[in-house]
Amino acid sequence: MMENAYTNEEVYSAALAELRETYKRFDLTLDSFHRGGRTLSAENNVIEVAPLTSAATTQIVQQALLEWSPLRQKVRQLIGREYDQLLLQQAIDVAQRKNLSLLDLMNKLTVELEHETQAEAMSIRFYQGLAFFLAIINFSLAILMYRLRVRKANHSLDFVGNIMNQVAAGILVADESGKIIRANKLVENMTGYLMTELQGRRVNSILYEHEGEMYGVRKVGEQYHCQVEVSQVLIGNRPATVYTIIDDSQQQAQQQELTLLAYHDQLTDLPNRHLFNDRLSVEIKHALRRNEKIALLFIDLNGFKGVNDRYGHKFGDLLLGRVAVRMKQTVRDSDTVARLGGDEFTLLITDIHSYDMCKTLVDKVMDTICKPYLIQEVLVEVGASIGVACFPDDATNEQELLSLADKAMYSSKATGESCITFASDWLSYKPEKLQVDQN
- Tell me, yes or no, whether 22 and 114 share the same domain: yes
Q: Is 58 exposed, middle or buried (0-12, 13-18, 19+ CB in 10 A)?
A: middle
Least confident of 4-18, 171-185, 274-288: 4-18
Which amino acid is located at 197 in the chain? E
- Tell me, yes or no, whether 243 and 270 share the same domain: no
Among 255, 278, 308, the domain-final residue is 255
Handedness of CA 80, 86, 87, 93 (dihedral sign): positive
- Report if residue 326 sits inside a domain: yes
* DSSP assigned state of 213: E
- Tell me, yes or no, whether 232 and 276 share the same domain: no
Query: What letters, b where the CB count within 10 A reaches 16 and e where it falls short, cover 361-377?
Result: bbbebbbebbeebebee
- Report if residue 61 sits inside a domain: yes
Contact 15, 6 (CB under 8 A): no
- Report if residue 298 sits inside a domain: yes
CA dist 379 and 384 (Å) reads 17
* Closest by Cα among 199, 197, 170 to 186: 170
Taking phi over 0 as left and psi of -120 to 50 as alpha, with beta for the rest, 342 belongs to: left
Determine the pLDDT at residue 299: 97
Who wins on pLDDT, 25 or 276? 276
- Tell me, yes or no, whether 285 and 386 share the same domain: yes
Query: Residue 333's domain spans which residues?
Result: 264-438
- Tell me, yes or no, whether 244 and 360 share the same domain: no
**How much is the pTM?**
0.49
Backbone angles phi, psi at 48, to 5 degrees: -85, 125
Confidence bin at 359 (pLDDT 50/70/90): very high
- Asked if residue 93 has pLDDT above 90, the reply is no
Query: What letters, b where the CB count within 10 A reaches 16 and e where it falls short, cover 280-298?
Result: beebbeebeeeeebbbbbb
- Tell me, yes or no, whether 22 and 150 share the same domain: yes
The DSSP-derived string for 230-294 is EEEEEETTEEEEEEEEEE-HHHHHHHHHHHHHHHB-TTT--B-HHHHHHHHHHHHHHHHHHT-EE
- Asked if residue 345 has pLDDT above 60, the reply is yes
Contact 276, 346 (CB under 8 A): yes
* DSSP assigned state of 391: E
Taking phi over 0 as left and psi of -120 to 50 as alpha, with beta for the rest, 299 belongs to: beta
CATH code of 343's domain: 3.30.70.270
- Asked if residue 132 has pLDDT above 50, the reply is yes
Say if strands 46-49 and 336-341 run parallel, antiparallel, or are unpaired: unpaired
Among 216, 237, 255, the domain-final residue is 255
What is the number of structural domains in the chain? 2
- Tell me, yes or no, whether 183 and 46 share the same domain: yes
* Closest by Cα among 121, 120, 112, 126 to 227: 126
- Tell me, yes or no, whether 124 and 62 share the same domain: yes
- Report if residue 2 sits inside a domain: no
pLDDT (tens digit per residue) in 44-69: 677 777 888 888 889 999 998 998 89
- Report if residue 1 sits inside a domain: no
What share of the chain in percent tops pLDDT 70?
75
Give first-to-last CA distance, the chain, whole Å. 94
- Tell me, yes or no, whether 158 and 194 share the same domain: yes
Helix axes 313-330, 355-370, angle to 10 degrees: 150
Contact 358, 389 (CB under 8 A): no
Average pLDDT for residues 81-110, to the nearest whole number? 74
- Tell me, yes or no, whether 230 and 373 share the same domain: no
Using DSSP's 3-state secondary structure scheme, residue 393 falls into coil
Whole-number Cα distances in Å, 437 to 230, 319, 371, 421:
69, 21, 9, 20
Average pLDDT for residues 102-123, to the nearest whole number? 66
Confidence bin at 137 (pLDDT 50/70/90): low
Among 221, 255, 289, the domain-final residue is 255
Contact 231, 239 (CB under 8 A): no
- Asked if residue 309 has pLDDT above 80, the reply is yes
